[in-house]
């Protein structure tokens, strides 16, 4: 266990880093990463669009041989698989690629997320791997043409939450949106898990062609972990969580 002095020193470092952050610097919806050298990576809709065009048009960013590689193509079940451009799920990742080759999965970063209401902020001192988990989720659920149909199940999931907590919220959303029909929910989970397994696996193959860092690859693995919790007996996991909550509050 850490000594009291170590714990207090860590708390002071966290406070010192956070008080320097002005919320005026995070005006648009999206994820902002403050890196160890104080540089920033900004993931907003506007920035994603600009960087997407930059990467596709620059042969030094994505060489023609990479564009033509089998591993770089869209998934076989994608409705746009015949289109001659890159998978849309790569779009939110591109703004990070230049920086990612400088950092490893467990490098510390400060992550700030502003939601679409523009009033709610999430802030965390975390690792690059954990911060990018939100990007991998956005990639698979908001930009992927297959994954989009599952985005509604992420309502209420905080961007930097753990895999098991994410699975619990998703299950409750699925249960509610399908009127408590357990069999329907079971089928949705089975299909969801299989499709996310394939799309995330294919995304890792694409990333291996254009990115040296392991941070994004590991973040996709973490996203898959959440789907694994869903495919397990999530009902019992939830029941146990509620029981433990009752025990703490009585």
Q: What pLDDT does residue 239 have?
A: 65
Residue whose C-alpha is closest to residue 135's, from 44, 4, 68, 53: 44
The segments of the chain whose pLDDT lies below 70 read: 1-23, 101, 116-121, 159-160, 215, 222, 224-225, 232-250
**H-state helical runs in 40-91:** 45-57, 64-68
Best CA proximity match to 143, nearest among 96, 194, 87: 87
pTM higher than 0.75: no
Classify burial at 109, counting beta carbons within 10 Å of its beta carbon; exposed 0-12, middle 13-18, buried 19 or more.
buried
* pLDDT tens, position by position, 178-215: 998 989 988 998 898 888 888 888 888 898 888 877 76
Q: Domain locations in the chain?
A: 4-249
pLDDT at 177: 92
First to last CA, the chain: 29
């Amino acid at each position: 266990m850490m000594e009291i002095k170590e714990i207090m020193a860590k708390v002071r470092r966290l406070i010192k880093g956070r008080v320097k952050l002005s919320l005026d610097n995070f005006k648009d919806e999206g994820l902002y990463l403050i890196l160890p050298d104080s540089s920033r990576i900004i993931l907003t809709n506007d920035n994603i669009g600009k960087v997407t065009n930059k990467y596709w048009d620059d042969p030094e960013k994505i060489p023609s041989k990479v564009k033509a590689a089998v591993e770089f193509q869209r998934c076989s079940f994608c409705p746009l698989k015949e289109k001659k451009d890159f998978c849309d799920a790569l779009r939110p990742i591109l703004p990070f690629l230049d920086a990612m080759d400088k950092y490893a999965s467990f490098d510390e970063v400060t992550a700030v997320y502003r939601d679409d209401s523009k009033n709610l902020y999430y802030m965390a001192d975390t690792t690059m791997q954990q911060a990018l988990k939100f990007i991998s989720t956005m990639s698979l659920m908001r930009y992927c043409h297959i994954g989009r149909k599952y985005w509604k199940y992420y309502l209420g999931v905080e961007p930097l939450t753990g895999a098991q907590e994410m699975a619990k919220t998703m299950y409750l959303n699925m249960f509610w949106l399908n009127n408590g029909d357990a069999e329907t929910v079971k089928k949705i989970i089975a299909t969801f898990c299989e499709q996310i397994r394939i799309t995330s696996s294919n995304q890792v193959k694409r990333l291996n062609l254009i990115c040296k860092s392991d941070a994004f690859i590991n973040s996709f693995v973490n996203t898959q972990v959440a789907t694994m919790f869903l495919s397990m007996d999530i009902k019992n996991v939830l029941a146990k969580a509620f029981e433990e909550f009752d025990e703490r509050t009585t």
